[in-house]
Structure 1
């Protein structure tokens, strides 16, 4: 057997919001390496904590079965309001990172898209611009009167069709005062038709029943290269910053997650 044949292969999974959590470095690597967020957690702790240099925010990754796994808190000061966005364990890391990068980078004129517009342009049905559902019925989005957002994703218990027996897959919350461009970035990635790469055997059975998996497999090394290429593209072209040390660089195996 050749070396290529022995390499683990990944499946291309869509819709992406049912693909499961994925590689958490999609979230943490850009913050640490591009935007210079600092590691603030204790060594060997199961809780990951990173903060920006101005200490106006903190991102937690905490494996608590009864609480959201990902929480980013913006710590308001003076007249600035505080706010929080949180994500369940199986929220795809690729979608979370759209929101965290939007926050870390700050808004640009082309980013100032209303979150409702994102969903309308994607053709997601709405009720009074307050409640939106994905065309396949798996995603339910609520926009509350105070400006907060709630996203809930469910999957059917029976293979390949939506049934009355639905199980919760993940939930996300954006509290009042969350910048609209952050919510819009998250929703833009959420509605994207592009597949994401996953180890098919580690996906929860309820997810495998509800997704489309392309037959052509992708070598795991390609997923690794895609992650670091994304990090490199985020660096401003006019600068030549050196990457700070990373606990895991290209060529290291992808961590396997079973949630």
Structure 2
């Protein structure tokens, strides 16, 4: 990370971008969810929702209570074969996940919805996970086999992507449904700065959109006051 002298109000480039955290607004992730396929609303608890493709898609920014989602994570994304049906897959991201990286996922999701059809691409998990690993390898990440799945580590060892696919056998021996895990660690103490997880049925091309933006060399711009404390110390070179 580049060390610079900054003022509290200055906007500074944060590299790698996954250390930037969130400025508190999720508008970036909702920005391209426009047109007749999408309906946005704010509920009585102050949560923000976008419903797309005739109710088959739901993207929620949930800082308060909401009976629609489990009480895990700040961001919730779901896809269903039809409105009101059980979710085919779910994704969740924690509070400090950069909305610009989430936007890469929602933009790819919106592109699938725009094409439409009875079986849109966001419900067709026909992509191979190798797509994700190839893109991360090209970005300089180290990919290896880990247990029953795969693991990719960023060059600075602060970001990790893992995939543990479901295995044959009794349900009690199955891996968790959130087969894709992304974790950004806050330095040597191992504390997570933020995390994201994706159900095993999430199409790999959507995971690839997320991880490609995660590994992008382009910075995210933040003011010092919005940076996580330990990232702020790195930025100041102290």
**So what's the TM-score if we normalise by structure 1?**
0.67
Q: Give distance in 2, aligned partners of 1:63 and 1:72.
A: 14
The two structures, once aligned, show a CA RMSD in angstroms of: 2.8
Q: CA deviation at 1:82?
A: 0.3
CA pair 80-71 structure 1, distance change in 2 beyond 3 A: closer
Q: CA deviation at 1:28?
A: 1.1
Q: CA deviation at 1:126?
A: 1.7
Q: Give SS of 1:126's match.
A: strand
1:29 matched to which residue of 2? 31
2:95 matched to which residue of 1? 89
- Count of residue pairs the alignment pairs up: 194
Q: Give distance in 2, aligned partners of 1:142 and 1:59.
A: 23
Counterpart contact for 1:19–1:92, Cα < 8 Å: yes
Counterpart contact for 1:148–1:178, Cα < 8 Å: no
Structure 1, unmatched stretches of 5+, are 1-7, 157-162, 214-259
2:186 matched to which residue of 1? 155
Structure 1 runs of 4+ aligned residues shifted over 3 Å read: 77-81, 209-213
Q: CA deviation at 1:115?
A: 1.1
Q: Give distance in 1, aligned partners of 2:135 and 2:74.
A: 26
Find the partner of 2:109 among 82, 103, 107: 103
Find the partner of 2:214 among 180, 190, 194: 190
Counterpart contact for 1:132–1:140, Cα < 8 Å: yes
Counterpart contact for 1:35–1:104, Cα < 8 Å: no
